[in-house]
Amino acid sequence: MRSWLAKQQSLGKSRSTMSRRATAARVFTAWAQRTGRISTDPGALLASPRPHKSLPGVLGQSDTRAVLDAAAVAADDGSPIGLRDLAIMELLYATGIRVGELCALDIDDIDTSRRVVRVFGKGRKERSVPYGVPASHALRRWLDEARPQLARQGSGPAVFLGARGGRIDQRAVRRLVHERIAVVDAPDLSPHGLRHTAATHLLEGGADLRSVQELLGHASLATTQIYTHISTDRLRSAYEQAHPRA
């Protein structure tokens, strides 16, 4: 069985694929022993390769500014779609919320006076996430000027609407993010990449890991440690400032 796994590796199978196949093999041999088909369980000693946890790419701060500036330029004509798209891009970066969380937002979830958005994450766990002044301006223009132009009788309380007046879907938001990033020739990212970008920029700006955990809605700090990274330059700078023999 170990030779079989080694063969999978030589064929270029990913760690995740090998881990799933090892698990399937262990389940099978455990069943075979339990039902009397074999006397011992060889799969019990078969270890799974640890899946490789790859991090999504991130935009640098200058690239992020360029992407948001491009979205602002596209909204200069005052069109409802342009203003909506700008508000989406600003809010995704300002809060680091998931694309599903953004699409599920209702009007009552936005506290414009305190600049806080109420988000229902995985397991319907509620959290409040602040957002900054640029996102506030974009969101106010969308809600006050543009959303009423797209709203229809069946629009309901959704914050963000599609062109036909219904709640915007995740595919439209993903397409928007790809298109806006392509305009400035920055590395292509999904909304999940913008979430990771926001978290990374918070850490680079001095935010502590637990605050980022709370903003992202992670149940475990370990998830945040995997999901975020600190640049080598910042780590070196912190070392040189803090270590007495740096």
pLDDT digits (tens, 9 = 90+) for 182-204: 998 888 999 989 998 998 898 88
Confidence of residue 235 (pLDDT cuts 50, 70, 90): low
Domain boundaries, the chain: 2-45, 61-234
Confirm whether 93 is a catalytic residue: no
On whether the CB atoms of residues 23 and 9 are closer than 8 A, the answer is no
Q: Is the pTM of this model over 0.85?
A: no
Each residue of 121-171: pLDDT tens digit?
A: 887 889 999 999 999 999 999 999 999 999 999 899 999 999 999 999 999
**Closest C-alpha to 84, from 173, 171, 157, 170:** 173
Catalytically annotated residue among 26, 84, 147, 195: 195
Q: Is 13 one of the catalytic residues? A: no
Give tens-digit pLDDT for 208-225.
888 888 888 888 777 777
pLDDT tens for residues 24-50? 999 999 999 999 999 999 998 888 777
Q: Domain 61-234 has what CATH class?
A: mainly alpha
- Cα distance between residue 156 and residue 161, in whole Å: 10
Give me the half-sphere count of Cα atoms (radius 13 Å) on the Cβ side of residue 158.
24
| Rounded-to-integer distance, Cα 29 and Cα 26, Å | 5
Choosing from 98, 147, 180, 196, the catalytic residue is: 98
239 is catalytic: no
Residues 6+ apart with CB under 8 A from 246: 239, 240
Helices (H) and strands (E) in the chain, counts: 12, 3
Encoded tokens for 96: 């680091």
Q: 171 an active-site residue?
A: no
Distance CA 108, CA 126 (A): 14
Residue 5 has a pLDDT of: 87
Half-sphere exposure of 31 (CA within 13 A, CB side): 6
Give yes or no for residue 82 having a pLDDT over 70.
yes
- Residue 122 annotated as catalytic: yes
> Catalytic: which of 7, 34, 65, 122?
122
Active site residue 196: no
* Catalytic one of 192, 201, 229, 234: 192
**Ramachandran category for residue 156: left, alpha or beta (phi over 0 → left; psi -120 to 50 → alpha):** left
Q: Under 8 Å CB-to-CB from 38, ≥6 apart: which residues?
A: 29, 32
Catalytic residue (choose from 26, 147, 196, 218): 218
